[in-house]
Amino acid sequence: MDLKASRMALSRLTAARHRLEARKARTDMREWQVKRRERTRQLIELGGLVVKAGLVELADDDRATLYGAFLTVAAKLRGEQREQALLLWKRKGKRAFEMETEIDPVRSSERRAKAK
């Protein structure tokens, strides 16, 4: 009887260990998925800003042109006028968001709520 009881106990412990490992794997996967979703959301939001600024239409949806423009901006930010450029662009961006809010306050408040 002791041998049978020991085998049963070993079987229960092995099953419990497998359940614990599976739960840990699901948790690890969830953390990975959360990070992936956060990155995806950020990329979508950045893409939305590109569209909102009208760059897609102005560049005829040419990816090389858009990439070149972004490289030009990045080069400016690496240069001596970094702070001035950031200050100017930030002001322009804030004004544009404020104008958008004045034009369509309902949609703008919905977007702000989603952003939080």
Instruction: Select from 82, 83, 108 the least CA-distant residue to 94.
Output: 108
**Residue 106 pLDDT > 80:** no
- Between CA 111 and CA 5 the distance in angstroms is 62
pLDDT in tens, 26-45: 777 788 888 999 999 999 99
pLDDT at res. 111: 59
- Between CA 16 and CA 30 the distance in angstroms is 21
Percentage of the chain with pLDDT > 70? 90
DSSP alpha helix (H) spans, the chain: 2-52, 55-58, 63-78, 82-103, 105-115
Tell me which of 106 and 115 has the higher pLDDT: 106
Least confident of 12-16, 24-28, 77-81, 90-94: 24-28
Global pTM reads 0.62
